[in-house]
Structure 1
Amino acid sequence: MQSLVFADVWAQVDTLLSGLVQTVWISAVAIVLGVFIGIACAVARSADSRVLRAASTFYVESMRNTPFIVQLFIVFFGLPSMGVQITAVQAGLIALTLNLGAYSTEIIRAGIEATHRSQIEAGMALGLTRRDILLHVVLLPALEKVWPALSSQFVLTMLASSILSQISVEELTSAGALIDSRTYRSMEVYILLAGFYLALTMVFRLAFDLAGRVLFPRRRAVGARR
């Protein structure tokens, strides 16, 4: 049985770190944009307009019921065939954003539907505008309720970014494959790669937990009183 030798792999750790940076920034941008899409579509799916509900439902169901790699290939190969020239990174970012947007739509919609009608009526009785009611009475409490589920989806999006290696985006998995082709130390490379993803997942979870404490201080205050 051949022993594991990490020296040759570790000597090229700068390549992994470069891929790590690429993974982090692509994931971060996709998460921010995906949340905005999720909020917009969640509101649309709860709207009175049948057109808005139908359009958002079609988008959500089509994204949630097809493999991410197929969505990625449609963006990467399909858009250029229609005359839209984009880079591999741009294609990956678009695909990740649209995929997260669909999943976050359903999560956020669940939070919106958990808002009791009496809270909205109370806001109207206080003279709040429709915008203020939507933002402060509906959306923020809804996001607070579903933040743990959203955070888990954000981590899954980061992990899904590994699939972007299939279109030659130089992210973490692609960096590992490059080192593997240079060293022929497949086991060592992918053990190290798994360690990087595990550490990255823990950092992301911690970051989202801290973000939740900042965005939703009311929950923290209630917890402290308990």
Structure 2
Amino acid sequence: MRYEFDFPAVLSAWPLLLDGAWVTLRLALFATVLGFALGTLCAVARTSGPAWLGRLVGAYVELIRNTPLLIQSYFLIFGLSSVGLNLPILAGATLALVVNIGAYTTEIMRAGIESIHRGQLEAASCLGLSRMQIFLHVVLRPAMERVYPSLASQYVLLMLASSILSSVGVEELFGIANRIQSDTFRNFEVFVVLGGVYLALSVLLRGLFWALGQVLFPRQRRLGTAL
């Protein structure tokens, strides 16, 4: 049987694909910013906080890293609504991504924080820096610099993983592509185009993270080792 390709039938729906890509990027952006903040706070709590808080954060990390994102999404979107906490679908999807990526960010940032030698902290204290200055300039920024490539890769993977959210009703890029496939019955063409769009988004995000690294870490820029 001869198959005739019909890419124009799929590409004619480019406004829908563009809307879906924009939703995907928005989800990734908000989840990246909020997930980094959550993960950093949890990493600090696990490395410098009281023992009970460290154990609580450890339980959160193990729970999230050992359960599927899809299950977490169903729980946070549909499970919470069943007990009266109704969230807009995009808010629930963002919350699911934040909770998920926060656990991975916690471990990445914890590794960065624990890589800071105690002698650097003692030297900063001898120079008269405040605890906040030591944390920001001697601990947090160097720690982030060391693990930045891992963070950037994890956040690109987060963007790709957001396709799972189409299963809970989010009309992001993958959900839009499924709708186009249902309308055109051009499965092969739809998923070839979809793969190309995801590849373009990944390259775009990696470029943005590279540019951000150039701004945040001038030492790496001088050494030519930035992401």
5+ residue gaps, structure 1, are: none
Aligned to 2:223: 222
Measure, in 1, the Cα distance between the counterparts of 2:83 and 2:121: 45
Measure, in 2, the Cα distance between the counterparts of 1:216 and 1:94: 29
Number of aligned residues = 224
The amino acid across from 2:166 in the alignment is: S
Aligned to 1:67: 68
The amino acid across from 1:214 in the alignment is: V
Change (3 A) 1:190 1:223: closer
C-alpha distance after superposition, 1:43-102 (max 9, x if no partner): 011024012101111111111010110100110111111211112111110000111100
Deviation at 1:211, TM superposition (A): 0.4
Aligned to 2:111: 110
Query: Aligned to 2:67, what secondary structure does the other structure show?
Result: coil
Alignment of 1:144 with 2:145, yes or no, is yes
Alignment of 1:128 with 2:129, yes or no, is yes
Instruction: Supply the RMSD in Å over aligned alpha carbons.
Output: 1.0
Measure, in 2, the Cα distance between the counterparts of 1:140 and 1:169: 35
5+ residue gaps, structure 2, are: none
Alignment of 1:11 with 2:12, yes or no, is yes
Measure, in 2, the Cα distance between the counterparts of 1:39 and 1:23: 24
Deviation at 1:222, TM superposition (A): 3.3
Deviation at 1:223, TM superposition (A): 3.4
Aligned to 1:42: 43
Aligned to 1:32: 33
The amino acid across from 2:167 in the alignment is: Q
Deviation at 1:19, TM superposition (A): 0.3
The TM-score normalised by the length of structure 1 is 0.97
Measure, in 1, the Cα distance between the counterparts of 2:195 and 2:44: 38
Query: Aligned to 1:128, what secondary structure does the other structure show?
Result: coil
Aligned to 2:168: 167
Change (3 A) 1:48 1:92: closer
The amino acid across from 2:3 in the alignment is: Q
The amino acid across from 2:189 in the alignment is: E
The amino acid across from 2:135 in the alignment is: L
Aligned to 2:94: 93
Change (3 A) 1:48 1:167: closer
C-alpha distance after superposition, 1:19-44 (max 9, x if no partner): 01111111101000000001000101
Aligned to 2:3: 2
**Displaced runs of 4+ in structure 1, greater than 4 A?**
none
Aligned to 1:199: 200
Measure, in 1, the Cα distance between the counterparts of 2:224 and 2:161: 33
Measure, in 1, the Cα distance between the counterparts of 2:183 and 2:224: 52
Measure, in 1, the Cα distance between the counterparts of 2:224 and 2:169: 46
The amino acid across from 2:132 in the alignment is: R
The amino acid across from 1:181 in the alignment is: S
Aligned to 1:189: 190
Measure, in 1, the Cα distance between the counterparts of 2:143 and 2:74: 34
Greater CA deviation, 214-223 or 49-58? 214-223
